[in-house]
Amino acid sequence: MVSQTRSVSSRSYDPQAGGTRSTRGNTHNVQRNNHGSHRANGPKKNRTKKRKHLVLKWVLGIFAALIVAGIGLFAYMYVTTEVPEPEAFALAEKTTVYYSDGTTEIGSYAEQNREIIDCSVLPDYVGNAIVSSEDRSFYTNKGIDLVGIARALYNNLTTGSRQGGSTITQQYAERYYLGETTSYSGKLREAFLAIKIAQQQDKSQVLCNYMNTIYLGRGAYGIQAAAKAYFNKDAKDMTLSEAAMLAGIIPAPSAWDPAVNEAQAQKRYNRVLSIMEEDGYITAKQQSEAQFPQVIEYQQSNQLEGQNGYLLTMVQNELIDTKAFSKQDLETGGYKIVTTIDKSKQDLMYSVVSPSQNGMQGVIPDGMQFGALSVNPKDGSIIALYAGDDYLTKQLNNVTQATYEVGSTMKPFALLAAVNEGVSLNTTFNGNSYRTFPGITDTVSNYGNVNLGYVNLYTATEQSSNTVYMDLQTKLGTKKIADTAREAGVENTSLDGSEPFTVLGNNGLSVEDMTRAYATLANQGNKPTLHIVASVKTPSGSDLYNAPTTAEQVFEANSVNLVTKALTGVVQRGTATEARATGHTIAGKSGTANDSRAASFIGYTPSVVTAVAMWYPDDNGSPQEIPAFGSWTGGSDYPVHLFTEYMTQALADTQNETFPTATDSGKIGGSDGTWGTGAQKSYTPSATPKTEENTQTTTPTPTETTPESGSGDGGNGDGGDAGSGENSDNGDANSDQNDSQQHSDSSQSQQQ
pLDDT of 397 reads 97
Q: Could you tell me the pLDDT band of residue 198, with boundaries at 50, 70 and 90?
A: confident
The pLDDT-based confidence of 166 (bands split at 50, 70, 90) is confident
Contact 548, 530 (CB under 8 A): no
CB 177 within 8 A of CB 86: yes
**% of the chain at pLDDT higher than 70:** 74
3-state secondary structure 160-199: CCCCCCCCHHHHHHHHHHHCCCCCHHHHHHHHHHHHHHHH
Q: What is the CA radius of gyration of the chain?
A: 45
Query: How would you class 355 by CB atoms within 10 Å of its CB: exposed for 0-12, middle for 13-18, buried for 19 or more?
Result: middle
Q: Is the pLDDT of residue 508 over 90?
A: yes
Full 3-state SS string of 377-416: CCCCEEEEEECCCCCCCCCCCCCCCCCEECHHHHHHHHHH
Distance from C-alpha of 8 to C-alpha of 4, rounded to nearest angstrom:
6
Are residues 335 and 544 in contact, defined by beta-carbon separation less than 8 angstroms? Answer: yes
The H or E element that residue 678 is part of is strand 678-679
pTM of the model: 0.74
For residue 339, the cross-strand partners are 533
Q: With cut-offs at 50, 70 and 90, classify the pLDDT of residue 539.
A: very high
Longest dimension (CA), the chain: 186
The DSSP element (H or E) to which 221 belongs, if any, is strand 220-221
Per DSSP, 440 falls in state: E
Segment 288-296 mean pLDDT: 97
Q: Is the pLDDT of residue 383 over 50?
A: yes
pLDDT confidence tier of residue 571, bands split at 50, 70 and 90:
very high
Q: Give the model's confidence band at 26: pLDDT under 50 very low, under 70 low, under 90 confident, else very high.
A: very low
- The proportion of the chain whose per-residue pLDDT surpasses 90, expressed as a percent, equals 63
Average pLDDT over residues 616-620: 91
Under 8 Å between Cβ of 458 and 683: yes
Give the Cα separation of 377 and 228 in Å (integer). 38
- Does the structure show a pLDDT above 50 at 15? no
Phi and psi at 14, nearest 5°, equal -110, 100
- Please give the average per-residue pLDDT across 645-654, as a whole number: 97
Q: Within a 10 A sphere around the Cβ of 110, how many other Cβ atoms?
A: 22
Residues 103 and 109: their CA atoms lie apart, in Å, by: 16
The 3-state secondary structure of 580-617, one letter per residue: HHHCCCCEEEEEECHHHCEEEEEEECCCCEEEEEEECE
Print burial letters for 439-461: b (CB count within 10 Å at least 16), e (below 16): eeebbbbbbbbbbbbbbbbbbbb
The pLDDT, as a whole number, for residue 743 is 33
Buried b (16+ CB within 10 A) or exposed e, 676-705: bbbbbeebebeeebeebeeebbeebeeeeb
CA atoms of 316 and 397, how far apart (whole Å): 14
pLDDT band of 751, cuts 50, 70, 90: very low
pLDDT in tens, 228-277: 999 999 999 999 999 999 999 999 999 999 999 999 999 999 999 999 99
CATH class held by domain 112-289:
mainly alpha
Domain boundaries, the chain: 2-79, 112-289, 382-748
**Burial class of 230 by CB neighbour count within 10 A (0 to 12, 13 to 18, 19+):** buried
pLDDT surpasses 50 at 699: no
> Is 572 a residue whose pLDDT tops 60?
yes
Judge whether residue 182 has pLDDT over 60.
no
| CATH superfamily membership of 382-748 | DD-peptidase/beta-lactamase superfamily (3.40.710.10)
Per-residue pLDDT, 298: 87
Residue 605 has pLDDT above 90, yes or no: yes
Q: What is the pLDDT of residue 187?
A: 55
Dihedral (Cα; 506, 418, 571, 448), 10-degree rounding: -50
Q: What is the pLDDT of residue 678?
A: 62
Q: Which of 184, 245, 174 is nearest to 206 (CA)?
A: 174
Helix (H) or strand (E) holding 220: strand 220-221
CA-to-CA dists, residue 399 to 72, 225, 321, 443, 511, angstroms: 69, 33, 17, 33, 5
pLDDT digits (tens, 9 = 90+) for 29-87: 444 444 444 445 556 666 676 777 777 777 777 776 666 555 555 554 555 444 455 55
Per-residue confidence (pLDDT) for residue 308, from 0 to 100: 96
Cα end-to-end span (Å), the chain: 159
Q: Do domains 112-289 and 382-748 have the same CATH topology?
A: no
Mean of the per-residue pLDDT values for the chain? 82
Does residue 211 have a pLDDT over 50?
A: yes
Q: Count H helices, E strands: the chain?
A: 22, 24
Residues in the chain: 752
Q: How far is CA 390 from CA 272, 306, 386, 396, in A?
A: 45, 4, 10, 10
Question: Is residue 306 left, alpha or beta, with left meaning phi > 0 and alpha meaning psi from -120 to 50?
Answer: left
